[in-house]
C-alpha cells in the first residue's frame, strides 16, 4: 500500500473514530497488517491511560477545555464537530503555532476534513492561545507526534 493511500485510510479512520464508531477499533485490529502504521499514529482512545497533565500545561488545558474541547474533543481527540488536534496533520511542521492564533481569530474554512468551517472563537487572548498551543503540543508529543 502506498504511503498516500495509507494516509487517506488513516484520515478516514480518524473521522469514523471522531464520530464515535467504536467498531473501528475492531476493524483496525482485524486489518492489522496493512494498517499497522495507521494504528501507530492514532492518539490513545478517549478514556485510555492518558498521562497526568504536568503543572506547566494545566492553564492551557483549562483554556482548551473551556474553548476548544467542544469540537476538538477532550485531550485533542476530536468529536463529531471537529477534528482531533492530536494528529499528524497538526504536527508543528505542518501547522505551526501561528496557525492556531489565525484559526482562533479568523476561523478556518473546511479544507482538511468534512466537519464544516471552524468559526472564530471570541474571548480568547493571545496568551491564552500560547498556553493552549503548549498544551496541545504536549499532548501531541505524548502520542509521538512532534
Q: How far apart are the first and last CA of the chain?
A: 24
Instruction: Pick the closer one to ligand HEC by CB: 15 or 24.
Output: 15
Distance CA 119, CA 126 (A): 17
Apex 86 CA angle, 82 and 88, nearest 5? 105
Distance CA 64, CA 133 (A): 9
Q: Is 70 in the site for ligand HEC (CB under 6 A)?
A: yes
Q: In this structure, what C-alpha cell is assigned to residue 70?
A: 467542544
Q: Is 103 in the site for ligand HEC (CB under 6 A)?
A: yes
Q: Which of 100, 138, 143, 145 binds ligand HEC (CB under 6 A)?
A: 100
Q: Which of 81, 96, 106, 141 binds ligand HEC (CB under 6 A)?
A: 81
Contacts with ligand HEC, residue ranges (CB under 6 A): 67-68, 70-72, 81-83, 95, 99-100, 103-104, 108, 110-113, 115-116, 118-119, 121, 124, 132
Amino acid at each position: 500500500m502506498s504511503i498516500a493511500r495509507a494516509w487517506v485510510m488513516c484520515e478516514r479512520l480518524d473521522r469514523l473514530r471522531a464520530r464515535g464508531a467504536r467498531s473501528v477499533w475492531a476493524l483496525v485490529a482485524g486489518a492489522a497488517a496493512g494498517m499497522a502504521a495507521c494504528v501507530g499514529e492514532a492518539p490513545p482512545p478517549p478514556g485510555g491511560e492518558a498521562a497526568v497533565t504536568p503543572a506547566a500545561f494545566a492553564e492551557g488545558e483549562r483554556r482548551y477545555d473551556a474553548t476548544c474541547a467542544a469540537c476538538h474533543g477532550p485531550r485533542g481527540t476530536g468529536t463529531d464537530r471537529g477534528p482531533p488536534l492530536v494528529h499528524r496533520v497538526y504536527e508543528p511542521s505542518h501547522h505551526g503555532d501561528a496557525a492556531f492564533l489565525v484559526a482562533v481569530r479568523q476561523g478556518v474554512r473546511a479544507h482538511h476534513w468534512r466537519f464544516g468551517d471552524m468559526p472564530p472563537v471570541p474571548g480568547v487572548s493571545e496568551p491564552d492561545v500560547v498556553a493552549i498551543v503548549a498544551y496541545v503540543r504536549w499532548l501531541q508529543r505524548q502520542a509521538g507526534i512532534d
